[in-house]
Structure 1
Amino acid sequence: MNEQVIQKLKILTESAKYDVSCASSGTSRKNTRGGVGNTVGGWGICHSFSEDGRCISLLKIMLTNYCIYDCAYCINRVSNDIPRATLSVTELVELTMEFYRRNYIEGLFLSSGVVRNPDYTMERLVRVAKDLRLVHRFNGYIHLKSIPGASEELVREAGLYADRLSVNLEIPTEKNLKLLAPEKDHQSVYLPMKYIQQGIQTYQEERKHYRHTPRFAPGGQSTQMIVGATPETDKDILQVSSSLYEEPTMKRVYYSGYISVNTYDKRLPTLKQPPLVRENRLYQADWLLRFYQFKVDEIVDDQSPNLDLEIDPKLAWALRHPEFFPVNIQTADYEAILRVPGIGVKSARLIVASRRFSRIGFYELKKMGAVMKKAKYFITCNELPEKTIHELGAYGVRKLLLPTPRKKIDERQLSFDFGDTEEAAPTNE
């Protein structure tokens, strides 16, 4: 790589870092004879997870950070005075192959600012994926960001070469999108989503009859919403996500806590730091929608339109509905066990399968992966239960399960971390 390409690489990977929807799960692409790389289930390298749980590295980059739009929340808006760069199709293809040969990456996550018009930009993105697949026989993972407003023909062609396609919704409601990005509208986003969905379903149907029908975006599609830039409630955001998940090809909705990159724009809120806790709670609520059979109005309602930032959404629901508990582990159905805080999908399945052979106690539940610190207040099992939510009350259980606040450390003093106070990452369980 020459110095000019390296400089472009620095600029374009920096510009791409705000897009979080780069997971690579949901697809498998085997190597072929004479091909390069495969997909199993430095600068610009991000880590994602494949379908089998393996951590893989992607080159996360933009084709160009020039853009004709002036979106208030975007670092690459046309009115910003920032370093700009554009990679040619050939430069980006060679860069990807060079990184792969050096074992830096296993795939590509490619987005772009919009130059000239959506079709011109989308055509260049498609050429990158096409050259990688057909010229260099690259079989690694490719995630392309479809450009809002791009034509159906280009979106359909992109699906033949990319493993996953995505179109960012950005702002959950049309009204607030118009406020911050007057040149954009939701229709230009939903149309490419529709083209992707139709393409996936058409090719899946054809593969049932014709064995060698090419695959179309086998990893499905995803989208991303910015959280905190506009006044939508968590209920508004989750309702949009729920409607998107009704389509079978929508694999993930990503939530990106708003980062104040354009502090001079008075349309934007002034935040000292991104709303990371709220972002995390939305991801937990998203999992409840996708895997725990919850509905939006069970997680948030008109009285409480925003998620509780102190406790996870599943625990919050349980504390609001003490009448549902305690759940008898020996007799309750799978759906009821899933509602117990501290018991996840895998643990619930093990419980239902194991109780046919023996009675289950606290020890067995812990071995199955249940978080008994939470679950013990909401269940009955082989042993006599401790005090449940009915004896302690919702407030009492909440108080017991709230994390202990950390003591303030005088930063002027020297301290040592011996690694014995590690905290578990927050989960729904």
Structure 2
Amino acid sequence: MNFQRIREKLNILADAAKYDVSCASSGSDRANKDNGLGNASRMGICHSYTEDGRCISLLKVLLTNHCIYDCAYCVTRKSNDVKRAAFKIQEVVDLTINFYRRNYIEGLFLSSGIFKNPDYTMERLVAVAKKLREEENFNGYIHLKSIPGASDELMYEAGLYADRLSVNIEVPTISGLKLLAPDKKHEDFKKPMLKVKNEIIRYRSERKVIKSTPKYAPAGQSTQMIVGASGETDMDIMYSATYYYRAYQMRRVYYSGYVPVADDARLPAIGSQVPMLRENRLYQTDWLLRFYGFAVKEILNSDHPNLDMDVDPKLSWALRNLHHFPVNVNTAEKAMLARIPGIGMQSVEKILKARRFRKLNWDHLKKMGVALNRAKYFMVCDSRYWERRDLDADKIKGMILQTSSGKYRNKFSAQLSLFN
């Protein structure tokens, strides 16, 4: 093996893979068997986050950055002047095993540019996973990117070896995709998604009857949207995400702010990178839609097509709907408690349990983890030392931002704020 050449390939193809953020390992529980290597579980160690916030390490590379397509937003577009490389199938297998044995990684995230055609590319991705499972007896986590336009047969085989499959829809709107990637069609993205969804349902049903039925893509499937490349609104993005959650039972939709990689008139100018805060706001909205009972139209609509960058989406909604407040935490239903800014779902559950035994006051709520600097404007409890109902939305917003000293506005942490 030419180690110098392998290292060069790794530098090129790992760097090209960094633009894909859809690599969480949550949901897989593939156990080690027959004295094999690795163990994919909900517990992880670094680099990529699971749904419950844990961290795992993955070898994250492209099989190749050669591509037959010329998508305007992609660093590997065929017209882009970048150094090209391609791994052999066995090289990726060897890298994965060697990195695992050195305790560098817990699994593999493998994507690829499309070379020759979708089936040829997908066949090689599947071959890597198959060799790892059957020849190396590797039981660690494997995430394969589904290639748009790949055959149902290859997608079926991929799910037998991979823990998670994902195909990136890339641009949230059909018109945006037509503008920036005219060689691609939304139907090509949806076909592998549908195949994976149907096979997951079929295998789960069969396992209820025959326990020895193998698992099929046990961590489900995910997708990724590029944000800010085609001028779409946050409303467009979230309606699209909601559709994919519902129609294809996605485990996650990821939002990746567009990073200018080429000087193209169809794209935002070089240097105009999408702010990380916009990504954060989209993830917060995604969380509200999936776990807090909100509908897209409540948070984003024709009057408010984009998210407020000053405050999180739940607080923004509350400020626009003050007629729903104040909420009495000692009597309100669960759904309404979850809509109080500063109260996350864990705190909601604590409130519901605790109020069966006594009326709750500010001290009780603070001990439960309620962010009173926000929540106090929208609720009442068994305390009366702070209650003001003479404030309008602008005054409340100003007071919250002032007490947060800019941290709430400028350094909002996605890992913590999603639960509030």
Equivalent position SS for 2:26: coil
Q: After superposition, where does 1:116-155 map in structure 2 within 5 Å?
A: 116-155=116-155
1:25 aligns with 2:13: no
Which letter does structure 2 place at the counterpart of 1:398?
Answer: K
2:174 aligned partner: 174
1:419 aligned partner: none
1:425 aligned partner: 413
Equivalent position SS for 2:153: helix
CA contact (8 A) 1:155 1:196 kept: yes
Q: How far 1:240 moved relative to its partner?
A: 0.7
Which letter does structure 2 place at the counterpart of 1:133?
Answer: R
User: Structure 2: how far apart are the matches of 1:64 and 1:89?
Assistant: 11
Which letter does structure 2 place at the counterpart of 1:222?
Answer: S
Q: After superposition, where does 1:53-68 map in structure 2 within 5 Å?
A: 53-68=53-68
1:300 aligns with 2:300: yes
Which letter does structure 2 place at the counterpart of 1:30?
Answer: A
Equivalent position SS for 1:246: helix
Give the gaps of 5 or more residues in structure 2. none
Identity over the aligned pairs, expressed in percent?
A: 55
Q: How far 1:362 moved relative to its partner?
A: 1.2
User: Structure 2: how far apart are the matches of 1:126 and 1:236?
Assistant: 33
CA contact (8 A) 1:377 1:386 kept: no
Spell out, residue by residue over 1:67-104, the C-alpha distance to the aligned partner (whole angstroms, 9 max, x if none).
Answer: 00000000000011111110001000000000000000
CA contact (8 A) 1:200 1:249 kept: no
Equivalent position SS for 2:398: helix
Equivalent position SS for 1:77: coil
Which letter does structure 2 place at the counterpart of 1:21?
Answer: S
Spell out, residue by residue over 1:115-161, the C-alpha distance to the aligned partner (whole angstroms, 9 max, x if none).
Answer: 00000000000000111111111111111100000000000100011
Q: How far 1:250 moved relative to its partner?
A: 0.6
2:277 aligned partner: 277
Q: How far 1:376 moved relative to its partner?
A: 0.7
Query: Cα 1:55–1:383, aligned 2, differ >3 Å: closer, same or farther?
Result: same
CA contact (8 A) 1:73 1:180 kept: yes
Q: How far 1:356 moved relative to its partner?
A: 0.5
User: Structure 1: how far apart are the matches of 2:249 and 2:174?
Assistant: 23
Give the gaps of 5 or more residues in structure 1. 408-421
Q: How far 1:53 moved relative to its partner?
A: 4.2
Q: After superposition, where does 1:201-350 map in structure 2 within 5 Å?
A: 201-247=201-247, 249-262=249-262, 264-270=263-269, 271-350=271-350
User: Structure 2: how far apart are the matches of 1:212 and 1:126?
Assistant: 23
Equivalent position SS for 1:250: coil
User: Structure 2: how far apart are the matches of 1:424 and 1:76?
Assistant: 32
Q: How far 1:244 moved relative to its partner?
A: 1.3
Q: How far 1:405 moved relative to its partner?
A: 6.6
1:397 aligned partner: 396
User: Structure 2: how far apart are the matches of 1:402 and 1:246?
Assistant: 35
CA contact (8 A) 1:376 1:385 kept: no
Spell out, residue by residue over 1:263-288, the C-alpha distance to the aligned partner (whole angstroms, 9 max, x if none).
Answer: x2111111433322211111110101
User: Structure 1: how far apart are the matches of 2:7 and 2:165?
Assistant: 27
Which letter does structure 1 place at the counterpart of 2:201?
Answer: Q
Q: CA RMSD in A?
A: 1.8
1:416 aligned partner: none
Equivalent position SS for 1:392: coil
Query: Cα 1:423–1:183, aligned 2, differ >3 Å: closer, same or farther?
Result: closer
User: Structure 2: how far apart are the matches of 1:51 and 1:325?
Assistant: 31
Equivalent position SS for 1:402: helix
User: Structure 2: how far apart are the matches of 1:75 and 1:148?
Assistant: 18
Which letter does structure 2 place at the counterpart of 1:161?
Answer: Y
2:17 aligned partner: 16
User: Structure 1: how far apart are the matches of 2:54 and 2:312?
Assistant: 26
1:113 aligns with 2:113: yes
Spell out, residue by residue over 1:228-256, the C-alpha distance to the aligned partner (whole angstroms, 9 max, x if none).
Answer: 11111111111011111214631111000
Which letter does structure 2 place at the counterpart of 1:266?
Answer: A
Which letter does structure 1 place at the counterpart of 2:196?
Answer: I
CA contact (8 A) 1:40 1:50 kept: no
Q: How far 1:50 moved relative to its partner?
A: 3.7
CA contact (8 A) 1:46 1:59 kept: no
